[in-house]
Amino acid sequence: MTTSRPHAASLVSKSAMVGYLPLVIFVALLGYLSIASSNFLTPATFDLILRQAVPTIIICMGLSVVVMAGGDDVVSGGIDLSIPATAVLSAAIIAQQVTNQGTPLAAALVMALGAAVLVGAVNAILVVRIGMTPLLATLATSVAVVGIIKVVTSSRRINVNDPTIVWLRDGTIAGVSVSVVSTFLLFLILFFVAHRTRWGLNLQAVGGSREAAEVSGISARKFVAQSFIVASLTGGLAAMFVLARGSGSTPGTEENLLLEMVLATFLGAAFSPRRVVTLWGAVLGAVLVSALSIGFKSIGVNVFWTGCIKGALILVVVASASLSTRVASRGRAA
């Protein structure tokens, strides 16, 4: 049915190959790690990888929603760099309230989610009303939020011993860590919303082609704005698991989260047959990134080098994404 010329076909497969490149590099790295470290391929390590990945997985899902609504162009498309800072701010608010003020956890969580939504609303206004590019707008809010974190916590670590947080960290359901189970449930809900509802399909239409969506009567601005709110909410929820993972709030956590979030989400696009950012792709990406971090630790790679390698991987992932779209669009232009 498709009128594909041999010329166009070869271009398409070339673009597919470029798109798979980051995945190949990742699998090769993991393969190397499992040979270099004897205890890398064990159930215990796998459990550790998943538990470490939980906060990243949750904020990756938020970022995926923003990218779906804004398009996957790295510069002008949808991106929200403020989710990690929002997560750490929410964690700081909960820690401050629970440990220093004696507020019940539920009330503290409501306050944290409120603060998160506020950040999301600011992003939405900056992008949709004022028309800033998401990259710059959310970079600015991210910097501002990090400043607020320092004010709230006086740049100090706050321990949290709340039993619920401890349960999130240590508890298990049917042998699986509570944090992993709850993240999986959250994934199911968000997956349904993003991939199996009108709202989700319209969101993806807006990201795929704003004009096409508008012509079909879908308000692009509404969906872009809502995607920032959803993203900030995932940041607020991730706060609970940030606290559980670190047994409290530590300023500076957002730096590593940011790196892993961007890397994992765009790496996830390589899993999707359509070469676009998806929720499940982002989750798999987050698990891979976490596996890599833990693998590097287990063979004793210097922590500073780990950051350097991750930065290089972001470059590979983003470059291959732009390359494959360029090759593909060259094949399409006719």
The residue ranges that bind another protein (CB under 8 A) are 1-5, 7, 192, 196-198, 201-202, 204-205, 208-209, 211-213, 215-218, 274-276, 328, 332-334
Amino acid at 206: V
- Smallest separation, CB 226 to another protein (Å): 16
Please state whether beta strands 248-249 and 158-159 pair in parallel, antiparallel, or not at all (unpaired): antiparallel
- Smallest separation, CB 18 to another protein (Å): 15
Residue 269 is encoded by which pair of tokens? 């696009």
Q: Classify the C-alpha dihedral 153-244-287-299 as positive or negative.
A: positive
C-beta closer to another protein: residue 131 or 211: 211
C-beta closer to another protein: residue 46 or 191: 191
DSSP reduced 3-state for 124: helix
Element (H, E) at 50: helix 43-70
Q: Would you tell me the crossing angle of helices 43-70 and 83-95 to the nearest 10 degrees?
A: 120
C-beta closer to another protein: residue 4 or 38: 4
- Smallest separation, CB 259 to another protein (Å): 27
- Smallest separation, CB 274 to another protein (Å): 4
- CA-to-CA distance for 283 and 53, rounded, in angstroms? 9
Angle value at C-alpha 14, between 10 and 20, nearest 5 degrees? 145
Report the helix count and the strand count for the chain, using DSSP H and E: 13, 4
* Distance from the Cα of residue 197 to its chain's centroid: 21
C-beta closer to another protein: residue 180 or 269: 269
- Smallest separation, CB 220 to another protein (Å): 11
- Smallest separation, CB 316 to another protein (Å): 22
Residue 219 is encoded by which pair of tokens? 């308000």
- Smallest separation, CB 308 to another protein (Å): 33
Residue 323 is encoded by which pair of tokens? 């390359």
User: CA dihedral in degrees (115, 117, 122, 126; nearest 10)?
Assistant: 160
Amino acid at 32: Y
Bridge partners, residue 177, by sequence: 172
Residue 280, C-beta contacts closer than 8 angstroms, at least 6 positions apart:
187, 191, 268, 271
